[in-house]
Amino acid sequence: MLIADGVDIDMTGLSHIAIHGGVTLTSEAPRLGVERPILSHAAQLHRIAYRHPTDVLRPYPLIGALARDARNPGPRLFTTSRPRPLFFIPCASATDVGGKVSISGFRLQGPHPDPEEGDANLERGISVDSCNPVEISNMEISGWSGQAIYVQKPFGQVLEPDAIRIHDNFLHNNQHIGGNGYGVDVSAGAHALIERNVFDLNRHAIAASGKPGTSYVAWRNLVLRGGGFHDSYPIYGSYYTHQFDVHGTDHCYHTPIKDIYQYGCGDAGEFFEMRENAFQYTSGNAIKVRGNPSVGAVVARNVFAHGSQATPSSRTAIPDPATTSPTQSRRRETDSGSRPTASMGFATSTATGAMTCSWRPAFHGGTPAPVGCTGRS
């Protein structure tokens, strides 16, 4: 299904719009009376960004020019109601294995650009049942107080580790007070590859439940300075949380009045890798693993704007009779240089705007130019 450039569609009142296996929902550039250009196979290989050394390079599909690029934000689909979700990639049964679903090249805007509270405001942009391969790319998804993208695994299908691939998107202004407000949420035993996205003004950029089998790999993402607001408290004031999150399955301390530090202990999914990401965010931890993954967690070769190694990442599997021993997560922090090639980098960002995506000059004392955050910029 093609969405033409310049389209602005009000989807208020709609919800659970199913996108079944084998469907592509995307945009195309105006034809201007001529056929759209088709890139050669060699040209597409040239456009593929550098990936992990062990990853297999695959050409992008021959779909021509998208309507969303560095100069054009692309068509917009928006709602002022609170669907949960608006789009749904379903699995009807454990044997419902169809073709790949692709969503690319437009803006998906929810009703709440600012933090909301209460269970009535937990709308969701895209919900994925991970029985079919899914690719979500070159999208701008904002204004969803629950989750911009939610991935779950309702049945027991075994897919390739990168079958759910979320890449080259701009995920911002997905916020909720006291919980939720996620750019990407991976839950219920699902796995997702999350790479080369730009995050800003989310409560958590990426979150995961502690349910068995849950995992994600986050590579080469950029987290800008905004977001992280959790709640305000008397005397203490505003509290800001972390950006890359892994939930535990248990609360850390149980009292007759209230459980303390909820979902901060116990088990925490299966495996998590956070590698070669860049964080301008300094209002709280960049990364927090709140429990014990059954396999482990790797945090390596990231760049942080925090001034020291004490605050960018932490884990909180606090010793308690109800929890297992703290996870043996590996944090490779052998190099304190600020260059992106460092094993762990710490520097002070001079970024001046929420739309700033040119982060490299900021870590070297320059002033980044504000640019639109798209998969093509």
Grouping H, G, I as helix, E, B as strand and the rest as coil, residue 330 is strand
Q: Which of 79, 135, 80, 141 is nearest to 107 (CA)?
A: 141
Sign of CA dihedral 100, 106, 110, 114: positive
Q: Which of 284, 298, 303 is nearest to 341 (CA)?
A: 303
Q: What b/e readout covers 45-64, taking b as 16+ CB neighbours within 10 angstroms?
A: eeeeeeeeeeeeeeeeeebe
Grouping H, G, I as helix, E, B as strand and the rest as coil, residue 166 is strand
pLDDT of residue 228: 81
State the Cα–Cα distance between residues 361 and 142, nearest whole angstrom: 26
Q: What's the angle, vertex CA 182, arms to CA 161 and CA 65, rounded to 5?
A: 65
More confident residue, 338 or 121: 121
pLDDT of residue 39: 40
State the Cα–Cα distance between residues 355 and 372, nearest whole angstrom: 6
3-state secondary structure labels for all residues of 202-238: ECEEEEECCCCCCEEEEECCEECCCCCEEEEECCCEE
Cβ proximity of 9 and 85 under 8 Å? no
Q: Which of 222, 128, 215 is nearest to 169 (CA)?
A: 222
pLDDT of residue 180: 86
Which residues lie closer than 8 Å to 236 by C-beta, 6 or more apart? none
pLDDT of residue 13: 96
**Distances from the Cα of 93 to the Cαs of 20, 153, 154, 157, in angstroms?**
13, 11, 9, 10
Q: What is the mean pLDDT of residues 346-368?
A: 38
Cβ proximity of 239 and 232 under 8 Å? yes
Q: What is the mean pLDDT of residues 32-59?
A: 40
First to last CA, the chain: 24
pLDDT per position as a tens digit, 221-254: 999 999 887 776 787 777 778 899 998 877 676 6
Cβ proximity of 375 and 168 under 8 Å? yes
Token couple for 141? 């998804």
pLDDT of residue 127: 95
Residue 257: pLDDT band by 50, 70, 90 thresholds?
low
Of 56-65, 186-195, 336-345, least confident by mean pLDDT is: 336-345
State the Cα–Cα distance between residues 270 and 354, nearest whole angstrom: 33
More confident residue, 30 or 14: 14
Residue 311: pLDDT band by 50, 70, 90 thresholds?
low
Token couple for 102? 């692709």
Q: Highest-confidence range of 60-64, 114-118, 125-129, 349-353, by mean pLDDT? A: 125-129
Of 4-13, 141-150, 257-266, 363-372, least confident by mean pLDDT is: 363-372
Q: Highest-confidence range of 222-236, 267-281, 308-322, by mean pLDDT? A: 267-281
Q: What is the mean pLDDT of residues 272-287?
A: 92
